[in-house]
Structure formats: structure tokens, C-alpha cells
Amino acid sequence: MSGITIALSKGRIFEETVPLLAAAGIVATDDPETSRKLILATNRADVRIVIVRASDVPTYVQYGAADLGIAGKDILLEHGGAGLYQPLDLQIARCRMMVAVRADFDYALAVRQGARLRVATKYLKTAREHFAAKGVHIDLIKLYGSMELAPLVGLADAIVDVVSSGNTLRANQLVAVEEIAPISARLVVNQAALKLKRRALQPVIDAFAVAAEQGHARR
């Protein structure tokens, strides 16, 4: 397709992207929260939006099924970024990748004693690399959601998850003990599309850059 295809996920990323798209002169003609359509038309005949799972955004862009996408750094760390150009930190959907444990678990002592930790997470690569760098041995348990439950029912000693307000941790008597990385949403661009469709893509990328900068300055 000669036009531009943008991959977005529903929810927080979509909501926070709407103003950035508007700044680039792009307005979706359907609301993904109410429509079941997976391909959304926009006010521009040459621009369409595809709605995918947040963790699938890098894959669609890597293979060129979408030219652009917006994905959280948490997702990009797991994906690895192959085939993706990441020109912009959009400064939206900000949170932190953390290690958290039950409030009554002595994490520092367990690490000091060289105990083997059971870590539950959906962020396997991030967790593996973090603990390997610390020289802490772990058994990884893959989960797909509600990581906060795992330490409460004895499935794991620790979790690796993104934390925003910290309310979910607090409500479950968990405490964050280590920050792994600050997280925010990034614009990702297919590397080949950037070369082949530069004339169409560059103005959109530039408009995103200006809008992200202005949004950041307002916060």
C-alpha cells in the first residue's frame, strides 16, 4: 500500500496518541473502544490505523505490515527492536519497570544470601537480563497478567512489572524494591519504509516530535 499504516493498541496508548495524531492532521473516523473494526479509516485518504495488541505493535512494524507504530518501552525491551527505527520518545504512558515483593519479604537479605529467587513476570527478557547483571540466580515464571497476585499466593518471591501510581502494589501489600528502567511510549518506524516512503512519513514524524515536545513542556 502506498499510503501510511499506523499500528496502535487500544486503551492508554490510543487515548494519549489521539492529540499527537491530531497535531499531525490525522483524525480517526471510528473509536476503537466502541467499534469492532481492526482497520480504522482517518480523515486522510492515505492514512489508516490498525488496532493490534500492545505487544504485537513492534512485530507489525518490523515486518512492514505497518509503517509506524507506538509502543511502550517495556514492550520494545522484550521485542529487542530488530528492524525498527525508534526516532522519538513520545513522553506518554510513562511508568517504571520495577521489581516488587511482599512487604514482609526481606529482598535485600535474600539477595545477600545468594538465595535462588522465583520471579513471576510477563517481561521474561527484561527480568532475565536484570538479574543476570546483578549476578542473582532466578527461576522465571511466565505470566500473562495480574502479576501482583503471584507473591501473595506463594507462586513467586518477586515480580517484575510496570508501576505507574503504585496503587496496585499498595492495595496488595507489595513494595517496589528496585527500578529496572523508566518506561514511556516510543514512536517506531519500519526501517525500509522510512527510506522508501520518506516523503510521506517524515512530515508525520516531525509533527509527532513537535507535539510530543509541547506536551512534555506542558506537563
Nearer to ligand AMP, 34 or 165 (CB): 165
Nearer to ligand AMP, 21 or 160 (CB): 160
How many other CB atoms sit within 10 Å of the CB of residue 68? Answer: 27
Contact status, residue 163 vs residue 95, Cβ threshold 8 Å: yes
Residue 15: CB minimum distance to ligand AMP, A: 11
Residue 33: CB minimum distance to ligand AMP, A: 17
Residue 168: CB minimum distance to ligand AMP, A: 3
Residue 158: CB minimum distance to ligand AMP, A: 15
**Residue in 173, 52, 187 with CA at minimum distance from that of residue 103:** 173
Contact status, residue 139 vs residue 131, Cβ threshold 8 Å: no
Nearer to ligand AMP, 19 or 64 (CB): 19
Residue 51: CB minimum distance to ligand AMP, A: 16
Instruction: State the cell numbers at 104.
Output: 514482609
Nearer to ligand AMP, 4 or 127 (CB): 127
Nearer to ligand AMP, 43 or 164 (CB): 164
Residues near ligand AMP, by CB under 6 A: 72, 93, 95, 161-168
CA distances from 149 to 4, 39, 128, 143, 173 (A): 41, 35, 20, 10, 10
**Residue in 46, 74, 42 with CA at minimum distance from that of residue 58:** 74
